[in-house]
Amino acid sequence: MTVCIWGVIKRFVQLITGSYTETAVLEDMNKKLKKENEELRDRLLPPEPPGIIGNITGGDILQLLANIFPAQSSDIHISDVGYKITTIGELRRFINWDDVNIFPYTSQYHDCDDFALALAGDFAKYPEWSAFPVSFIWGDLYDGHAFGIAIAWPSLEDRTPTVYFVEPQNDHEIAMEMVEDMILWLLPI
């Protein structure tokens, strides 16, 4: 009888120990899954929208763009009466999150216009980001090139609406001097 009780106690200790080990394993798995879930959320959901925003009219945007492309102002298409505006730093935060630039370039199939449309489309598909004037532009740069365009403030201290050009294949800014003499083919905002 003593041997039998000792065996029960031994088995009980093993069960408790095994149960404790299983609990520890499950807790570790739970922590890993939570971390993976947070990483996926950060990759799949856009960053929080800017906290400080202003308003800009479609007419103001048209005037800004017509100053850059005076001979082709008829190729500028303004879709909305009004837009939101924030700093270029806030728009860059979205662009840095966006993964358009990770895909390989394939001539004629996944090239500049596809990258530019994808970047503009990513802004457009998230309601908290779609009100900002971010789109694509197409012109004779490099004998025909499409890229991104945004209107934003240079900083919170300088709230002068400014036009920025973005190469969506690498997220780099294109200098105004590169674009000023370009013949504009299409610019919808």
**Per-residue pLDDT, 26:** 72
Q: Break the chain into its structural domains and give their ranges.
A: 1-45, 54-188
SS (H, E, C) the chain: CHHHHHHHHHHHHHHHHHHHHHHHHHHHHHHHHHHHHHHHHHHHCCCCCCCCCEEEEHHHHHHHHHHHCHHHHHHEECCCCEEEECEHHHHHHHHHHCCHHHCCCECCCECHHHHHHHHHHHHHHCCCCCCCCEEEEEECHHHCEEEEEEEEECCCCCCCCEEEEEECCCCEEECHHHHCCCCEEEEEC
**Per-residue pLDDT, 16:** 65
**Per-residue pLDDT, 22:** 67
d(CA 137, CA 132): 15
**Per-residue pLDDT, 17:** 64
| pLDDT digits 0-9 by tens, 81-133 | 999 999 999 999 999 999 998 999 999 899 999 999 999 999 999 999 999 99
Say yes or no to pLDDT of 29 above 80.
Answer: no
Q: List the CATH code of the domain at 54-188.
A: 3.30.460.70
| pLDDT digits 0-9 by tens, 152-182 | 999 999 999 999 999 999 999 999 999 988 9
**Per-residue pLDDT, 6:** 64
Q: Hey, which of 8-12, 56-60, 141-145 has the most confident mean pLDDT?
A: 56-60
| pLDDT digits 0-9 by tens, 92-105 | 999 999 999 899 99
**Given pLDDT bands bounded at 50, 70 and 90, which one contains residue 36?**
confident
**Per-residue pLDDT, 86:** 98
**Per-residue pLDDT, 35:** 87
